[in-house]
Amino acid sequence: MKNHLKIDNKLFTEIGEISRFTGRFFRELLKPRQEFEEFFRQCYWIGYKSLPLVAITAFIMGLVMTIQSRPTLVAFGAQSLLPSMVSVSLIREITPVITALICAGKIGSGMGAELGSMRVTEQIDAMDVSGTNPFRYLVVTRVMATTLMLPVLSNLSNAISLYGAYLGANIRGQISWHLFWTQVFNALSFGDVLPSLIKTFFFGFAIAIIGCYKGYYSKKGTEGVGQSANSAVVLSSLLVFIIDLIAVQITDLLGLT
């Protein structure tokens, strides 16, 4: 019983600390003299440097999903629906979530490890003493960059995964470029694309907040840096699924599905 109470207390304490950290982010965001140079540098590292991994994964997703789906549709005589089914599945759900999970592993862990090492080596304390606002310089720039870059990466992943799907459709079958894209765009609607785009902003925000929080308050020396990076990945990945579940429920209530 006492162990359960300790776990509950730790969980609620963690939620409260993350909420306070998020509130501090918004307060610092609204203050003038933002660190735009650092923001654009983070956009480069988070967006451009993550693109190759995201692109390769998206291409493989589209290719594999098409190859795996085709035999089932052929068994029901519905192979002509393959481009429509694959495009809706990729755009609505698979590509945004997988892209977010990749970023949670790469970006979230990177932030946790980087800020954690700066904390244990007292670099953050040195910035604070020298008059620089470490929270604004380190946290606000990274959270904003991730929030803006993840939708960009997700949209690029959508295009690349659909191209992979086109190649997958032509491995066992044969479909023209024009016919494939005509069926793709006929199957997609406003209610498929917009919710998928909006939820990627929340994915990016959650990944960056958790990564920065874990690193900013890292403890226990070098051991704490590894723990911060690991817990950042686990918690941000869990939040991605929770946000996705909430987004699905909201789109269903609004009749966008």
pLDDT, one tens digit per residue, over 149-185 is 999 999 999 999 999 999 988 887 788 899 999 999 9
d(CA 113, CA 121): 12
> What is the structure's pLDDT at 221?
73
d(CA 27, CA 204): 19
What are 230's two structure tokens?
């690991």
> What is the structure's pLDDT at 131?
76
> What is the structure's pLDDT at 72?
84
What are 103's two structure tokens?
């970023």
- Locate tokens 């609607």: which residue? 189
33: alpha, beta or left? (left if phi > 0; alpha if psi -120 to 50) = left
Q: What is the pLDDT of residues 72-114, one digit of tens each?
A: 888 887 788 888 899 999 998 899 999 999 999 999 888 988 8
The Cα-based distances of 41 to 123, 133, 137, 212 in angstroms read: 19, 17, 12, 16
Q: What is the pLDDT of residues 19-39, one digit of tens each?
A: 999 999 999 888 877 788 889
Q: Which residues contact 80 (CB under 8 A, 6 or more apart)?
A: none
Separate counts of helices (H) and strands (E) for the chain? 12, 0
d(CA 244, CA 200): 9
> What is the structure's pLDDT at 252?
81
Q: Place 70 in a pLDDT band, splitting at 50, 70 and 90.
A: confident
Q: What is the pLDDT of residues 186-207, one digit of tens each?
A: 988 887 888 889 999 999 999 9
